[in-house]
Amino acid sequence: MKPFSKPIYITRPLLPNREAVYRKIDEIFDSQWLTNNGPQHKHFEKVLVDYLQVSQLSLLNNGTSALQLACQALRLSGEVITTPFTFAATPHVLYWNNIKPVFCDIEENSWNIDPDKIESLITPSTSAILPVHVFGNPCNTESIKKIAERYGLKVIYDASHCFGIKINGQGIGTFGNISTFSFHATKIFNTIEGGALTCNDPTIKMRVDLAKNFGFQGEESVIVPGINAKMNEFQAAVGLLVLNIIEAEMEKRKKLTRIYQERLNEIKGITFLDKIDKKVDYNYYNFVIRVNKDKYGKSRDELYEELKKYNVFARKYFYPLCSEFQCYKNYPSSSSENLPIAEKVSAEVLSLPLYGNLTDGEVNKICDLISLIGVKLQ
């Protein structure tokens, strides 16, 4: 089989119409207001509250800042229990808040933090649980809530992958004390760089809004030691435009996901997250497979390398585990005995190309390649 004539990357940013962007730029230039809660920001925040079905929302310059400010707003300290199967930002924000990340193993089927393994990691220093809804698949929020209530812990959900997701019609940003979103260019919804923090408590929003602007209350009074985490007018304007096309993008990705699922179902040793709960309105952000070398004939790494020869650039998300990073690998909770499932899953996952402009034909060809590569070495 011939390689693709152009590189096929794991994703492409969802770009709004160019003319519409130029019109937005005109609006911003006319307003002469570039950042600091300008008209685009105000409007975007309002419409996002409705779209995400949350009660409180603060726009921020990125998803990492959202996590940072969540830790600050909840006054977290000591230790926080989190997952190693996530992007680097999740444990890093704990470290930057002088909090020790404690890694908990994940569930084999959801790839999310395993609630059954949280309790044994709780110590007198534990202040919170920081689960991640990995790839937009919601965590077991009921069980996590029960544990948090039993031990008086706060819960921050890293919902970076969850734009638009609802559970039983309820916005995913309403679970836990705080949820955080990333609007990075590679996410299904983007503001180039950007993010948001959502919660149910207006006091938390007030704290975050103060902290994201150096702690200023009015012109002359600084009441907390804040930071600069503001979303600017250009980001907010892009967000407003991308919001107009997000539903269509999700539909396209859903259709392509169905092709992947039908085709890859036929290949021995290739599995994927097909058990997303029926109660969940999913966003089809990405499509991640697991490769079982014994059944498929090649390892995840071999498949990844072979695909590259055909101009297909898949990514190993999440590999390595955060607990394997130089800065965390000596933590007691990073031991292999503590994280057997996470280590196994991380060695087998591969994120395949998925974005609205990918064609049915391209997805079918990627499936043909996966089939061929497996057979070649069997």
Ligand X SMILES: Cc1ncc(COP(=O)(O)O)c(C=O)c1O
- Kindly list the residues in this chain that would bind ligand X in the complex (CB under 6 A): 62-64, 86-87, 89-90, 132, 158, 160, 182, 184, 195
Distance CA 208, CA 211 (A): 5
Distance CA 321, CA 331 (A): 13
In terms of Cβ atoms closer than 10 Å to its own Cβ (0-12, 13-18, 19+), residue 18 is exposed
Give CA torsion, residues 141, 85, 318, 301, to 10 deg: -120
CB of 241 to ligand X, least distance (A): 18
CB-nearer residue toward ligand X: 111 or 310: 111
Q: Which amino acid is at 183?
A: F
H/E element, 123:
none
Other beta carbons within 10 angstroms of residue 259's beta carbon come to 18
CB of 231 to ligand X, least distance (A): 11
- Phi/psi for 60 (5° steps) reads -140, 170
Do the beta carbons of residue 80 and residue 102 sit within 8 Å? Answer: yes
Comparing every residue's Cβ against ligand X, the nearest one is 63
What does the longest C-alpha to C-alpha distance in the chain come to? 71
CB-nearer residue toward ligand X: 161 or 365: 161
CB of 334 to ligand X, least distance (A): 18
Distance CA 231, CA 228 (A): 9
CB of 292 to ligand X, least distance (A): 25
CB-nearer residue toward ligand X: 97 or 299: 97
CB of 91 to ligand X, least distance (A): 10
CB-nearer residue toward ligand X: 90 or 257: 90
CB of 353 to ligand X, least distance (A): 17
Distance CA 366, CA 350 (A): 13
CB-nearer residue toward ligand X: 63 or 173: 63
Collapsed DSSP state (helix, strand, coil) of residue 280:
strand
